[in-house]
Structure 1
Amino acid sequence: MNAIKRLFDWLRRLLFKPSTQIGLGILIIIGFAGGVWFWAGFTAALDATNTEEFCLSCHTMEDNMLPELQKTVHFKNRTGIRAECQDCHVPHDFTDKMARKMQASREVLSHVMGDIGTREKFLDHRIVLAQREWDRFKANDSKECRACHDYDSMDFSKMRVTSQMIMRSAAERDASCVDCHKGIAHELPNTEGMHNPAFDSLLSEAGSTKVKEGETYFNVIPQALYTTEDKDTQAGTIEIATPVKAIAHKDGMTQIELDMWRKNKGYGRVWYTYFGLNIPDVTIDKELARDEELVTVTSAKEDPLTGLEWQKVSGTFWVADGGLMESIEPAWDIASQTYDDNCSTCHRQPAPSSHDANQWPGLWSGMVGFTNLDDETGALVLKYLQLNSSDFGESSEGGSIENTIQDARPGVVS
């Protein structure tokens, strides 16, 4: 009894201190109650901001994202199961969820500031938003997707044969869903006019190149050709990886000599370095393509595979300084890495040497649509594939094409 009495006396002193002091017990009770109230309110607010209704309260989402989602199987399907905004775009783990909420504050600010307030602004900014989500999915191995889709639970036998091949390969590699399924619920961004920062390094290196007369160089970025150094008349354009011979330099311009091939049909505007291979290097303006003062035809011969006559042509033009390099290998490093990163995700990508130069354009056009490469980068990768194809022997195994820039197509006598 004495022990019980002492316990009650201690509790009375703990809870009921003089008015000038607050008892420790009162503080504990208030703190506990406040914590429960705060956590309940925090959880309720978190749940409210994770609902589809909350997302669609922003007109940017309702006007842009919802109509796209409604066209997909994730919105309406035979099973009646629908993925909502939070299922894909809010991480399920608490820590990741909090990090994503903090990131979202930047997007809310962007909306309030009007950066994506109109359809036009949204489309212009879409590639930034999409890339941010793709990077997040890539980093967490598409964890949100895998909450519903799991390789171990897939019945491959119920898939189409072509889908089986791709999905079995993906399962073997445990590929991330976003590697192949960009644009599965929303439209892909428009990459037209995008700039690849990797080209900045090429231009920086080209800018430091000291061009010497009589030496051969490689053009590293598409640029204009001019008839004179004052750039009064543009003669056409020259593509990346095109070999040129420097013959003069004046006032920030370099005069180059082109010794190439063209098909003798129409205006013959497109010029090729290699006989019989459809690898465009130069395009001459229609009005100048048959100008004998600008273009000299030195010989002609028939392509035995097509029966089409090809003409050997030459001409001198001017290009602005800063676009020529002694070696094309730095550009190939970028192209090779880009090809590996973008074309090994959905399937095992073919080696460049597995096809010839004339086959690659058709194959590439069917592949590039599944990537988010801009036009400039896509053209670089295609050029890399063609110039490292089976037509170039050792070059196709990683050798340099610089030793073969004057060669005709293998097996064809010049």
Structure 2
Amino acid sequence: MHNQNSSFVRGNKYGQSIVVWFQNKSKVRFITVCLIVVASFITGIIFFGIFQLSMKVTDNIAFCTSCHSMGIAYQEYQASKHYQNTSGVRAICTDCHVPSEWGPYVLAKVEATRDLLAEVRGTIDTPEKFAAKRLELAQRVWARMEASDSRECRSCHALESMIAADQTKEAQAQHARAPTKNETCIDCHKGLVHAMPDLGPLAQAAFADLEPTIGSIPAGATTVHSLVTQPFFMDAGGETKGGQVLAGIPMAVVQVADGMAKVRLAGWRQEDVERVLYAEAGKRILMASLSSEAREAIETSGDSVTLEDTGQTWSRAVLEGWMPMASLTADTDKLWNYAGALFSTNCSLCHALPHTNEFDANQWMGQLQAMVSSTSLEKEEARLVQTYLQLHAADMAEH
């Protein structure tokens, strides 16, 4: 009996201890926190697994091409060497468009939701809609590739692993200079898999911005340029020809009256070459061709130089004349923006776009003349681009 009572008492004490233990609020909170941590950990594992699975499911080419809006892009891909080639190595959509590193990978997936929205909204689900958006879509991809130094391209292609001797001479030259010019793969290899978009709208947009400034000279303007090569006259009535001023050449504003502008050309003349006015001594930056009347009226200062490398003597010269305002603009920035757009849209299709300071003024003249026949530049557009390049050349930093 005594033993039974003792056992009962001890059991009671144990039960009371447990009750007391659970009645301790701090201990209850501890248990609650532990349960929450364990539950969160398990939930996190499940969520991460589902997330990873969903990411991988969206990485296959079947998923990428399941949207109607990707139909045209997929057809272009199938016609490219990334799809079928002599080595039998195939790069799929994600190899080029999805980074392998975790952070950029997730960001790319988030950004891809824009494509899903486009599919739902039907913004590029027809050839006509796709064509209208192609340039915008391409620019977005090009910008991302430039920002990452063509990271996805380099995951398969490495300059140091290339056998240069098996490449064309042009490719060898471009690949050799790429590291020194901070150029990246996409600079030269646009349109490699998908059709190259029409870049014309870029120049058209720049011209639309420039157009309202043409034909008027705001009060206080000090410099004007002609959009095209244009005649100038020695009198306001336009009776005595002075010659022609080339597109883009800067001219100082002297007077404006009745749709005509009196302008001042300040440049250099080479000794015994009096029919032409140049922007700088020793540089073939043609400003104007001069009539006999203009040659008589031109003012040559005593400020002259003889160049050591050529032995040529050059003298400063100033000429004033009158021009119709119809083709003049006083907005230098918008003019150069337009000229730069013409340059970039015509000269970045076959190779990386050179920077304006990559060549000196005389070299740019030869470079452009050698390549202009391969572009869609019209005669006056080419003249404007030449002036733009020469005035922004490596040896013309002051301009």
TM-score interval, smaller chain = 0.5 to 0.7
SS at match of 1:73: coil
Instruction: Kindly provide the amino acid, as one letter, of the partner of residue 383 in structure 1.
Output: L
Q: 1:54 aligns with which of 52, 59, 63?
A: 63
> What amino acid sits opposite 2:195 in the alignment?
E
Is the 1:91–1:97 Cα contact (8 Å) retained in structure 2? yes
Is 1:40 the counterpart of 2:67? The answer is no
> Corresponding residue for 1:219?
226
Could you list the runs of 5+ residues in structure 2 that have no partner in the other structure?
A: 1-13, 23-29, 230-244, 264-275, 279-283, 294-320
Distance in 2 (CA, whole Å) between partners of 1:388 and 1:195 is 16
- The residue that corresponds to 1:385 in the other structure is 386
Question: 1:175, CA displacement in angstroms?
Answer: 2.8
* SS of corresponding position for 1:319: helix
Matched, 1:170 2:164: no
What amino acid sits opposite 2:192 in the alignment?
Answer: I
Larger Rg: 2
Structure 1 residue matching 2:225: 3-state secondary structure: strand
TM-aligned CA distance change 1:395 to 1:329, over 3 Å: farther
Given that residues 226 and 248 in structure 2 are in contact (C-alpha distance below 8 angstroms), is that contact kept between their aligned partners in structure 1? yes
1:159, distance to aligned residue in structure 2 (A): 1.8
Aligned to 1:264: none
Distance 2:207 2:329 in 1: 13
Matched with 1:138 is 146
CA distance in 1: counterparts of 2:246 and 2:122, whole angstroms? 39
SS in 2 for 1:100: helix
| CA offset digits 1:335-374 (Å, max 9, x no partner) | 56986997683678543411547x73442343x58xxxxx
For structure 1, the residue ranges without an aligned partner over 5 or more in a row are: 1-5, 15-20, 223-237, 259-272, 282-296, 300-313, 370-374, 402-414
Residue 324 of structure 1: aligned partner: 329
Q: Which residue of 2 aligns with 1:106?
A: 114
2:352 aligned residue: 345
Question: Are 1:92 and 2:100 an aligned pair?
Answer: yes
TM-score (norm 2): 0.59
Q: How far off its partner does 1:98 sit?
A: 1.7
Instruction: Report if aligned partners of 2:206, 2:334 keep a CA contact under 8 Å in 1.
Output: no
Quote the Cα distance in structure 2 between the aligned partners of 1:395 and 1:35. 59
Distance 2:393 2:177 in 1: 29
Matched, 1:74 2:82: yes
Instruction: Report if the CA contact (8 A) 1:335-1:381 is conserved.
Output: no
Does residue 1:191 correspond to 2:199, yes or no? yes
* Residues paired across the two proteins, number: 307
Q: Give the deviation of 1:50 after TM superposition.
A: 1.6
Alpha carbons 1:69, 1:185 under 8 Å: kept: yes
Q: 1:396 to 1:89 in 2, by over 3 A?
A: closer
| Contact 1:361-1:382 within 8 A present in 2 as well | no
Residue 160 (structure 1) aligns with:
168
> What TM-score do you get using the length of structure 1 for normalisation?
0.57
Deviates more, 1:125-134 or 1:110-119: 110-119
**Worse-matched range after superposition: 26-35 or 88-97:** 26-35
Could you say what the CA RMSD is over the residues aligned between the two structures, in angstroms? 5.1
